[in-house]
Amino acid sequence: MCIYRSPSCEYKDSLHLLNIISDHLGHNLDVYIVGDTNFPGIEWSTTPKSSNKIGTDFINFCDSHQLTQHIKVPTPIGEIIDRNRLEFAGGVDCFQSNILDFLDKKVSEKSFGLMRKSFPEEYLDQIDTLVDVSDFYLNKVDISKIIEVIGLKPVLTHSDLWQSNVMIVKNKLHAIIDWQTVSFGSPAQDIGLLIVSWLSTQDRRQKLDFLLNEYYNTFLDKIKGHPVPYTFEQLKRNYQLLFPVLACMMLPWIIQLSFYVQEKELREYGIEKCVGLMEDVLATHQKNLEDFPKFFEPQ
């Protein structure tokens, strides 16, 4: 059983969710419940406890239904996962606020430190350059101007559309979750975040144009009869300018998950993915400096 409870879920809705789970448990002997309940206030120690009422209710619910919590330690990047960014929902500042969260100095320093520990020595100079590029986008440019530079108007976006917010069942799209950050932003940010977070380096490099083209053609098909807000070329240019930002947003997640994973193959895959993103961030950043000088003018 897969569930998702939004951080903004009201108490009555949380109780309704528990009732749904209870009904399901009544018809099944063996049940695995996976997903995201967003209960950062619960400490899953020997004697679980919560800092709020709904968390306490959830603990009691688990006890009464003989459910066992198997994940009893915070995720490696829990300081990011449980942040509530609802105050930005519906506004053009939402994506930029996400960037500030993801590129938080402490998180970045931890991630880049792990890169230096786990990456081969020949990548150390590139890591140092990547740190500078990440800081550049965090502190020295106005991300909101990306749309203006391409000559676009803001479009409605999910703003947090990476692989953990996409639910796949039997190789088919089942649901897209975590809609509290819906806002107006760049056309390429949703598809770009999916590409950066989901694909291997090889697939991303080889299939980028194909995926952007499929995305654009599907978009055109869905808005038949309505004005087209941007061209395919504008989408590609938007992706190019936005790519270093998206990659720097995702690298802390990928780096830390790769570092803590136990399986050797998964860890090697994660490192390979990080290396590919790092190489492409540095190359794309240089190209952006040449292609979009207006964006990099001092503020």
Domain at 200, CATH number: 3.90.1200
What does the pLDDT read at residue 126? Answer: 94
Q: What is the pTM assigned to this prediction?
A: 0.70
Same domain for 101 and 56:
no
91 to each of 148, 158, 197, how far by Cα in Å?
Answer: 17, 12, 24
Task: Answer yes or no: is 69 within a domain.
Answer: no
Q: Which two tokens stand for residue 46?
A: 């020997």
Same domain for 39 and 10:
yes
Same domain for 155 and 60:
no
Last residue of a domain, one of 41, 64, 87: 64
Sign of the torsion angle spanned by Cα atoms 207, 212, 217, 219: positive
Task: Answer yes or no: is 70 within a domain.
Answer: no
Last residue of a domain, one of 11, 42, 64: 64
Same domain for 155 and 32:
no
Number of domains in the chain: 2
Same domain for 211 and 134:
yes
What does the pLDDT read at residue 90? Answer: 39
What does the pLDDT read at residue 100? Answer: 60
Mutual angle of helices 232-260 and 94-102, in 10-degree steps: 30
Task: Answer yes or no: is 237 within a domain.
Answer: yes
What does the pLDDT read at residue 274? Answer: 92
Q: Which two tokens stand for residue 52?
A: 């709020």
Same domain for 159 and 89:
yes
What does the pLDDT read at residue 145? Answer: 84
Same domain for 59 and 83:
no
What does the pLDDT read at residue 250? Answer: 87
Task: Answer yes or no: is 72 within a domain.
Answer: no
Last residue of a domain, one of 64, 89, 106: 64
Question: With contact defined as beta carbons under 8 Å apart, do 187 and 222 qualify?
Answer: no
Same domain for 154 and 188:
yes
- From first to last of the 299 residues of the chain, give the pLDDT tens digit: 777 787 778 888 888 888 888 887 766 556 777 767 777 677 766 677 888 888 888 888 888 877 776 665 554 433 333 333 333 333 445 566 666 655 666 767 778 888 888 788 899 999 999 999 988 887 788 887 888 889 888 888 888 888 888 988 888 988 898 887 788 889 999 999 999 999 999 999 999 999 999 999 999 999 998 999 999 999 999 999 999 999 988 888 888 777 777 788 888 888 899 999 999 999 999 999 999 998 888 76
Domain that holds residue 153: 78-296
What does the pLDDT read at residue 203? Answer: 96
Same domain for 224 and 104:
yes
